[in-house]
Each structure stands twice: as structure tokens, then as C-alpha cells.
Amino acid sequence: MPVFERHVFVCHNVRPEGAPRPSCTTDGKSELLTQLQQHAKAAGLAGSTVRVNKSGCLDQCEHGPTVVVYPEAVWYGNVKPEDAAEIVSEHLVGGRPVERLRMADACINTKVCPHRG
């Protein structure tokens, strides 16, 4: 099996109702994950050069649903299932991150992001 060129992690974390931070999914299912996997497969990427996985909490709850693509460390926030085709075609196939979905660098892994309550 070849080494993956890109690894895509999709936050799949569920928090209880009333938790101080939001969840990326509400029911433990993720149409976003399904759409990313299906579009990657249709593009001929799944299982060969790209791996799309669900992940636990990526600690970017205020920007969820969150997706991160490695090795570039491109973080996407507030991603909807309908964004999956664009992420696959533009980023995973074309090598161009989808700028409209990118999280600001100042908001990644910091407690001072203006989006945090």
C-alpha cells in the first residue's frame, strides 16, 4: 500500500446538550464525513493517495464542524456537507486550499481567538 499524500481528519465529537462548547456533530453521525469520503472515492483518491477519517475533538469547537488536511496543516471551519465536493476538487485534487473555508491562523490552537466565548 502506498503512503498517503494527504490525510483528512473530520471532527466527529459529540458533546452533551448544554455543554459550554458546541459539538461538531449532534448525533454521532456526520454527513460531512460521508460526503468527503464519497467525493474522494469518486475522484480516485480514496484508499490510494488520500485517507479521510473521522477524528475525536480537534479543539476548535467554536469553528465546527472542523476539518484539517495534513501534511499541509490546512484547517477548515464551519464546513457543511455541501462544501465537500469543493474541498476534494480544489484542495485534494488541485492542491489549492479552499480559502473561503480556511480558519484564520490566529484562531488555531489559541485561547484568545475572538470566536471563543
Contacts of 78 by beta carbon, 8 Å cutoff, 6+ apart: 63, 64, 65, 101
pLDDT digits (tens, 9 = 90+) for 81-111: 999 999 999 999 999 999 999 998 888 877 7
Q: How large is the C-alpha radius of gyration of the chain?
A: 14
Asked if the structure places residue 1 within a domain, the reply is: no
Number of domains in the chain: 1
Per-residue confidence (pLDDT) for residue 1, from 0 to 100: 54
Residue-range definition of the domain harbouring residue 98: 6-107
Q: Tell me, what CATH number does 61's domain have? A: 3.40.30.10
Asked if the structure places residue 84 within a domain, the reply is: yes
Asked if the structure places residue 112 within a domain, the reply is: no
Model pTM score: 0.88
pLDDT digits (tens, 9 = 90+) for 27-36: 666 889 999 9
Asked if the structure places residue 41 within a domain, the reply is: yes
pLDDT digits (tens, 9 = 90+) for 39-75: 999 999 977 899 999 998 888 878 778 999 999 999 9
Per-residue confidence (pLDDT) for residue 35, from 0 to 100: 95
Asked if the structure places residue 114 within a domain, the reply is: no
Asked if the structure places residue 25 within a domain, the reply is: yes
